[in-house]
Structure 1
């Protein structure tokens, strides 16, 4: 049984206490007994259209109090195998992206040095560059599984290099991603030029559009992902605009005709056997959310990420 686990909502009502992810203890110092830490990165200075995802971590945490320790689909009680905490929020500097990168990276360094797996709640997708910088110090260039409506491999926005649409190009240029083990899934929507998606492929990533996902199906997509990623440390990044805006209206750059929440959860659940060393869920924008649909989806995606860690831990001990 993990040292740190959620409060029991059959003994303490969900509306009581400080809002932490899944009602986990708030522990803001790294300890060797912690397997994973959920933390916020409330930065939205990289957004190109709607702003407000700095409030995303708060919104995800608010809905997450409904999550329970036993994952029915995966048939596992997470905290039979894991000790986890809410680590609070990483420090950022509103309006200053490079300074925020430095603070996010520094905050993650101490977590990773303690052997803790981070699960970061965004914030916009620009934050992932800082996460990968920190993770690469410990694990070297990592494999990438990236669910998103956009490849985020543009070279610049408004003549500037750092933005939520340039994250993965910068990460590849900095040698943070092993592109031979990198895959992006879900791209769709209008583009600036015919070759925009080819840019990601030319950088070395495998890329599958939403139409291709729908054509080949989820089971085959999971096979492709696992074949691509293989062995070795891997990072999983989930942008909520991967989902159709019917299921995730609260996001900065929505694209129609996307997957359902059920399909997205099937994809994340199916990523068993991959050596994940870090995760994030980004681009939740509460001001445009409706009935907390987006926050609900994001919280459940993060829950399935934790489940992947529990399944991996169980496989090692049994």
Structure 2
């Protein structure tokens, strides 16, 4: 082999050492999203965390344990790669410590996926990254519906006097007209909060928030029925914070809240979403330094797999209709 053909690894000045460490489910690595139905990419950024950091290692950890995943979903009786073409595009080369340059890089990366006609699926990273993803989505699709699974609403105006934090992305998304709050739903909010009127604030912003205790009263199917009714046939971005789950099932996260949902319940929510028109998704706030036996990362990988299964079912049904 000619030494000129040997590619040097990326310098750590351009690509942080925790970027580009593996592929999701051992899928094929692609240079771009041309011709793909979906494209998975990592956003290893946690500078906007308000308590425990470590989510920068989330994409790497999710990919590492995703080798446990097989391509067949027995519940839906579908092999995701029989109907979908997709793979892993690697990571956004974030700028550790600097949120706005990182936002620019995320938006550029995601825009290329969207423009290629693929559905972008991001592995975070803290929840601040979703704002940049939505900027890319909105450039193509206009304001979309947000379907948000989380223990926190993330609609603060400021955190520590700053407008851009993992507790503020959806306030900014509404202000930037990236999402349609009147067709958006937040599910699972719980725990102590800074402002006793937070649910009223969400309503004043136009959002429908279904807190955890209401979900328990209504049940999963009724909660999703209500969400589908609000969203209708609008295009949807799914954002899934791992702290939606109870920390007994997902301890590896930066801001855990007790009395959350089980692994099975969290996955059942995704399995009920087959009728929605998705244009993007992310899985955020996996913090491996606080994980045990990779159970949080494994759960995150399974949520992404269930989402891919939904996309595969939709593609299969579209093909059957001709």
TM over 0.5: yes
**Which of 184, 190, 194 is residue 192 of structure 1 equivalent to?**
194
Secondary structure of 1:180's aligned partner: helix
Question: Quick check: 1:28 aligned with 2:31?
Answer: yes
Q: Which runs of 4+ in 1 moved over 4 A?
A: none
Secondary structure of 1:280's aligned partner: strand
| Structure 1 partner of 2:14 | none
Task: Find the aligned partners of 2:288 and 2:141 in 1 and give their Cα distance.
Answer: 33
Gaps of 5+ in 1: 1-17
| Structure 2 partner of 1:10 | none
CA contact (8 A) 1:145 1:234 kept: yes
Task: Find the aligned partners of 1:121 and 1:246 in 2 and give their Cα distance.
Answer: 22
Task: Find the aligned partners of 1:30 and 1:240 in 2 and give their Cα distance.
Answer: 26
**Which of 223, 232, 237 is residue 234 of structure 2 equivalent to?**
232
| Structure 2 partner of 1:71 | 73
Distance apart, 1:24 and its partner CA? 0.3
Q: Deviations over 1:111-169 (max 9, x none)?
A: 11100101100000000000000000011000111000000000000101000000000
TM-score (norm 2): 0.92
Distance apart, 1:259 and its partner CA? 0.6
Secondary structure of 1:277's aligned partner: strand
Within-5 A mapping of 1:108-147: 108-147=110-149
Task: Find the aligned partners of 1:311 and 1:202 in 2 and give their Cα distance.
Answer: 36
Gaps of 5+ in 2: 1-20
**Which of 300, 312, 315 is residue 310 of structure 1 equivalent to?**
312
Task: Find the aligned partners of 1:241 and 1:56 in 2 and give their Cα distance.
Answer: 13
TM-score (norm 1): 0.93
Task: Find the aligned partners of 2:167 and 2:242 in 1 and give their Cα distance.
Answer: 14
Secondary structure of 1:177's aligned partner: coil
| Structure 1 partner of 2:12 | none
Task: Find the aligned partners of 2:210 and 2:199 in 1 and give their Cα distance.
Answer: 9
Task: Find the aligned partners of 1:30 and 1:273 in 2 and give their Cα distance.
Answer: 24
Distance apart, 1:19 and its partner CA? 3.0
CA contact (8 A) 1:91 1:107 kept: no
CA contact (8 A) 1:50 1:252 kept: yes
Q: Give the aligned CA root-mean-square deviation in angstroms.
A: 0.8
Q: Deviations over 1:173-195 (max 9, x none)?
A: 00000111100000000011211
CA contact (8 A) 2:187 2:210 kept: yes
